[in-house]
Each structure stands twice: as structure tokens, then as C-alpha cells.
Amino acid sequence: MPKVRTKDILEKFQLELISGEEGINRPITMSDISRPGIEMAGYFEFYPAERIQLLGKTELFFFRELSPSERASRMEKLCTDITPAIIVTRGLDVPEELIEASERESVPVLRTNMVTTRFSSHLTNFLESKLAPTTAVHGVLVDVYGIGVLITGKSGVGKSETALELVKRGHRLVADDCVEIRQEDQGTLVGTSPDLIEHLLEIRGLGIINVMTLFGAGAVRSNKRITLIMNLEIWDAKKQYDRLGLDEEKIKIIDTEVPKLTVPVRPGRNLAVIIEVAAMNFRLKRMGVNAAQQFTDRLADVIEEGDHE
């Protein structure tokens, strides 16, 4: 199913529908927008018909200078069977030739009172958000000290219980069980919760609880950029775990690599505190303070001094 249709932008930006109502369900497949200035002059060789077409003051004032036959011809070519919409900005009058051609080809012609550049910016942002590549992962997303921490691990390892403890400590839940992730930009992953389970946590033995009802609106948020993954796994005595924190493992989600820490779980370990400290330490690293590296450098200095003696 198409992620965005013409009627979605009609409703989102409260546009006025002028003509071509039959095509209101046309799919929008790209966030790029076209301002067909050169097409108004008659050059349609590389006309990007699959994009939304924006007609502003420049295009329409030039259009008025054309002869009646040229005007009819230009609008005929502008309206194709794949053009999702033609939008007239600044509340300008819509040419009769455009209305006639759009009705024949069922291309929706819409109008907004916003200036062209501002509307173009808003529309591009909306389309990029909606058309961004998406995926879903099994896990819990929590906002810890401003860091979006995605907690992953096998079912029953304690992800939701850890999230509950974090919420109790003043942090915010974004999603439990299923996290919908979209790549809004290169290197930017944003996680949200499916509408059906928004604000809900499933705790074995208790069942489903509503975090917003129990802890208030400050305990939840609708979306968060994912910057750190904490993978919980049952403690394995045979496995070597990182004790210094020098090796930074990364995991790829869609096209973006995200730092990943593996935390072994066994009775007595306070996972919520560990995740809090991991988030704070991650922030410190981004500021250029790396405790593990400082320790390694100091250790190297001590060994070097011992060699000289």
C-alpha cells in the first residue's frame, strides 16, 4: 500500500481542492517537488511527471504572457496520468486551461495561501518523514538523559521490567515490545510505538499497564532518535565480556550503524542503573571524554616507566 496519497497532503495542509477530484487517491512515491518553470516555457524533455508540481507567482505570471494555444498545450502536457497533484500557492487564481486539463486527466489541482518557498519546505519535510525507509524491531525504546536507548534481547530476559524501573527513576518510555523505526536522514533513526500499544508496558505476572496513566504524561514520549543499543543476554560463564569498554561494537539498522553494548543479566545486577550509566558515559564520549581510553593510556605510561627502570 502507498504510504502517502494526495488526499493526505490535502488534509494535512488544509488545502483547497479546485479540480480533478477523481485523482485524490493517487499515490505519492517521492519527496522531491518540482517547480515547472522550464516546462511553462515549453521544454518537457525531462519533465518529472511523477513529482508534485508547485505553481507559484513566477510560473503563473509567465504563463499569462503565452498565447491561448500555448497555454492549453502547456497545461495538457503538465497533467499526466502519474502526476499526484498540481498545487497553486499564494492563493493565486487557477488558470482555466489547468482546470480543464486536470479534469480530463483526473489530476488533483489544489491551492494554498502560503508562499511557495515556505510551503515547499513544509511539504518536503512531511513527505520525507512519511516516505522514509522503515523497519520494526523487537525491543523497548526509552529516553534516558536525552539518549534514545533501544533495549534488545530474547523474550523473557527482562527488557520491560528494566524499562519500568527506568520510568520509575524519571526517564521516559517511547515503545515496548515492538519499536517502529524510520530512517529520516542518513545516519538518523527515529523510533516510535505502534498506535495499538502506545504508552503500554507488558510485565509478566502483572499483565499490561498504562505508563501514562500510572506515572503521568512526563513518563512517555511519542518518538525518539535511537543513538545507543543495549542488548541484554543471560550471563554465560564461558563467554568473555568486554571489561574495559574499548571495543565499540556496532549494529546496522536499515542503512545506519548504531553503537551496541552487550550486558550480561544475572540475579543481583541492577540493569536500570547500568543503562543510566551507559547513557551518561555515551554522552561523555561524544564530548570527548573516554574513561576507558584514559585508563589504557595511563596503564601504557606506567608500563613504559617500568621498562625504563
**Residue 177 among the catalytic residues:** yes
Q: Which of 5, 71, 111, 159 is catalytic?
A: 159
Cell numbers 516546462: residue: 39
Q: Which of 57, 118, 138, 250 is catalytic?
A: 138
154 annotated to bind ligand: yes
**Residue 159 among the catalytic residues:** yes
How far is residue 230's CA from residue 153's CA, in Å, rounded to a whole number?
8
**Residue 138 among the catalytic residues:** yes
How far is residue 61's CA from residue 155's CA, in Å, rounded to a whole number?
63
160 annotated to bind ligand: yes
Nine-digit cell at 253? 539498522
153 annotated to bind ligand: yes
How far is residue 55's CA from residue 240's CA, in Å, rounded to a whole number?
63
245 annotated to bind ligand: no
Q: Which of 243, 252, 266, 308 is catalytic?
A: 243
156 annotated to bind ligand: yes
Q: Which of 77, 177, 269, 283 is catalytic?
A: 177
What residues form the annotated binding site for ATP?
153-160
What residues form the annotated binding site?
153-160, 202
The set of catalytic residues is 138, 159, 177, 243
